[in-house]
Structure 1
């Protein structure tokens, strides 16, 4: 396993603005980061990341800290203002950092193979030959092997059965993609399950990923017809949790999923 290499994610102005105000309030009362970490039940390094604009604070964190600092709701109001959808810097700006730091990722993608498991040829067809976007997508796949991390994340990829049969690129592209997906499913930290296409379910509404962080908090990345967003709102996470239960109830086992991927690759795309 290669040594851990520290990342230097680009900080979002939204996150920096919130972190700066949090630090001002904390220092004005002479309170240390360790105390905030204890109050909010997170680690000291996480508080540091929030104050430096490298990690987005959850609402529960903000509410606990606002009360402890006797900020009178100032931090909560700031958090709400900065997380409005109409802000010039979108909330999904910090997703790459969240994805890279997560200890678990659960992904659902209707109709297509998820980006984390796409081959270069499959990605090129989806991204219409945009080489910069293709390279960025393939680079993200280092997350799967945990390159640069002491412990690789656990990843669950829920694959729509229709994605196995929906042609993207050439037949050779599809065969290579399904063979690659079957190979990825054999990695010890990866679970790939095919969700049967029959029937209606909430997963038909769109793709999403739920990231579980080191402190067990969750953040979701949701794709919509207009744009993609991140959310850690408990109501949103509850809806996605119910959707995942429904999806996994329709999913084949890992071994059955792998067998189906190889069967379709051989019988349809050869």
Structure 2
């Protein structure tokens, strides 16, 4: 019985086949080089077997592709594993060279703990079953790990961190996690309750710098997100972010405030 090709991984298999043929190697020869069976290599090329990152790297080395298969694996893995409603957003996020985010109502998604994220998603996804919610939770948990070197700057309103989501234990763990994550690369600044010059912004937004030198922004609303890529509009959002950041406490003073809020939870 023939196996049905996976639509996502067939593209990777086509790239593998093209590079193998360009290198003048048979399936048997290449399989021997990377220490897998010829039938297994055939399934990889046909898209009926999902490759791993390690095998992608071994094949890149054997075919001298310059990392083409590993790069494509990363792109396709995001499409395969991330829920459809987050795919384009997360793929773009992983390409960003810098991310700035403002959140007035909740802890930014990249900083959320599993318990905090699960509570939010359960409360906000009334039409989704438990399995779908768990997929969303795991996808959210994997996002920060994929941004090992990306500078991240968060500006968060104080009420977003004071509001208890779920239980006090969940919120205490969440605040502790923010304190652990805060570093030179991950900067968290809190806009205190008393900030009379704080600009009035209707909702959360994030701005991502891209490798091309351009920028794209996302504004969140009840049913999803709006993508903003007009230089004029992105520039306006950058100014809003700068003004909010200027009204926020320094990262050090923000840590002190978060520690006090955590202590208030008992």
Same fold (TM > 0.5): yes
CA separation in 1, counterparts of 2:171 and 2:262? 7
CA separation in 1, counterparts of 2:78 and 2:247? 39
Corresponding position of 1:81: none
SS of the equivalent of 2:146 reads helix
Larger RCO, structure (CA 8 Å, separation 6 or more):
1
CA separation in 1, counterparts of 2:135 and 2:197? 36
Q: 2:110 aligns with which of 106, 111, 116?
A: 116
How far the C-alpha of 1:251 sits from its partner, in A, is 0.7
CA separation in 1, counterparts of 2:106 and 2:78? 31
Alignment of 1:189-200 (within 5 A): 189-198=185-194, 199=196
How far the C-alpha of 1:100 sits from its partner, in A, is 0.3
Q: Which moved more, 1:200-209 or 1:123-132?
A: 200-209
How far the C-alpha of 1:236 sits from its partner, in A, is 1.6
Corresponding position of 1:8: 75
CA separation in 1, counterparts of 2:87 and 2:232? 21
CA separation in 1, counterparts of 2:171 and 2:221? 25
Q: Which moved more, 1:241-250 or 1:193-202?
A: 193-202
Q: 2:216·2:228 contact (CA, 8 Å) conserved in 1?
A: yes
Per-residue Cα deviation, 1:201-230 (whole angstroms, up to 9, x for no partner): 445311111000122210111112343121
- Relative to the length of structure 2, the TM-score reads 0.63
Asked whether 1:153 is paired with 2:147, we answer no
How far the C-alpha of 1:242 sits from its partner, in A, is 1.7
- Relative to the length of structure 1, the TM-score reads 0.62
How far the C-alpha of 1:163 sits from its partner, in A, is 1.4
**Higher helix content, 1 or 2:** 2
Q: 2:99 aligns with which of 102, 105, 120?
A: 105
Return 5+ residue gaps in structure 1 as ranges: 13-88, 147-151
SS of the equivalent of 1:176 reads helix
Summarize the Cα distance change of 1:231–1:96 in structure 2 as closer, same or farther, 3 Å threshold: same
Return 5+ residue gaps in structure 2 as ranges: 1-56, 58-66, 123-129
Give the root-mean-square deviation of aligned CA atoms: 2.7
Per-residue Cα deviation, 1:39-69 (whole angstroms, up to 9, x for no partner): xxxxxxxxxxxxxxxxxxxxxxxxxxxxxxx
CA separation in 1, counterparts of 2:146 and 2:205? 17
Asked whether 1:254 is paired with 2:257, we answer no
Q: 1:110·1:207 contact (CA, 8 Å) conserved in 2?
A: yes
Q: Which structure: larger Rg?
A: 2
Corresponding position of 2:31: none
Asked whether 1:264 is paired with 2:261, we answer yes
Corresponding position of 2:89: 95
Per-residue Cα deviation, 1:218-257 (whole angstroms, up to 9, x for no partner): 0111112343121211222122112112201111111111
Corresponding position of 1:65: none
Alignment of 1:171-250 (within 5 A): 171-186=168-183, 188-198=184-194, 199=196, 201-202=198-199, 204-250=201-247
Corresponding position of 2:27: none
